[in-house]
């Protein structure tokens, strides 16, 4: 798996460096200009969750998987290396982006606000759910399919705005609040010291389920 990660890193080095520099800079600037920190963290969760897929879209473009799977590796290892590389990138973006939000001159956020454990958990939860859903989808439908799916979501968002008077927007709002409300509920039931590791374990489990689904889908894929 390490060999595959190394290969992935070398193959995508330029893109990883570009994302690794531009992503945090963008989020740092964006973060310094926004008042609603919860909304900012939710946005981070979505943005960071999409970034790794840019790398694997390039595998599709160069049909690199056909050669990759001719090497002595299993399909499980192949997907495993993608998850590890993605999480390494996403955690880096999360930490570097959060740090820059504080450091940008004239910013409105303080370290206490950004590195608030509850807020970090909410961001991580959005990141996990977003990436955990997108990765199996990407494995199944590829870059073009995923792009179509994301555009579809945008269109759906616009339609919901248009028809917000029929109450659909309230449903979406509720959906988005599920994660912060759930985290708050667990926190008040267990206390912060216990809630933090428990929720992290839940996120790890979600990632594992997503990984298993991706492996099952990848095993059915033909090159």
Site residues, another protein (CB under 8 A) = 3, 6-7, 10-11, 14, 58, 62-67, 69-74, 220, 222-223
Q: Which is nearer to another protein, 69 or 120 (CB)?
A: 69
Residue 143 beta carbon to another protein: minimum distance, rounded to whole angstroms: 16
* Residue 177 to residue 157: CA distance in whole angstroms: 16
Nearer to another protein, 35 or 61 (CB): 61
Cβ at position 96, least distance to another protein in Å: 25
Minimal distance, residue 24 CB to another protein, in Å: 24
Q: Which is nearest to 17 in space by CA: 50, 54, 72?
A: 54
- Token pair recorded at residue 168: 């659909």
In angstroms, give the least distance from the CB of 63 to another protein.
5
DSSP 8-class letter at 165: G
Cβ proximity to another protein, 62 vs 208, nearer residue: 62
Q: Angle, to 10 degrees, between the axis of helix 75-103 and the axis of helix 37-62?
A: 140
- Alpha carbon 136 to its chain centroid, in Å, reads 13
């Amino acid at each position: 798996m390490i060999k595959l990660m190394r290969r992935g890193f070398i193959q995508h080095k330029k893109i990883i460096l570009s994302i690794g520099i531009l992503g945090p800079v963008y989020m740092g600037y964006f973060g310094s200009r926004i008042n609603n920190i919860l909304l900012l963290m939710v946005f981070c969760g979505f943005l960071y969750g999409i970034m790794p897929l840019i790398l694997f879209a390039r595998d599709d473009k160069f049909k690199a998987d056909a050669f990759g799977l001719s090497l002595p590796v299993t399909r499980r290892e192949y997907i495993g290396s993608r998850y590890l590389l993605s999480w390494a990138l996403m955690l880096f973006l999360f930490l570097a982006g959060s740090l820059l939000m504080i450091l940008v001159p004239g910013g409105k956020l303080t370290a206490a606000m950004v590195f608030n454990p509850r807020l970090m958990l909410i961001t991580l939860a959005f990141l996990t759910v977003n990436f955990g859903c997108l990765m199996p989808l990407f494995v199944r439908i590829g870059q073009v399919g995923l792009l179509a799916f994301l555009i579809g979501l945008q269109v759906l968002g616009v339609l919901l705005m248009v028809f917000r008077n029929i109450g659909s927007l309230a449903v979406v709002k509720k959906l988005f609040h599920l994660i912060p409300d759930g985290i708050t509920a667990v926190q008040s039931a267990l206390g912060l010291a216990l809630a933090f590791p428990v929720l992290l374990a839940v996120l790890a489990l979600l990632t594992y389920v997503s990984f298993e689904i991706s492996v099952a889908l990848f095993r059915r894929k033909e090159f």
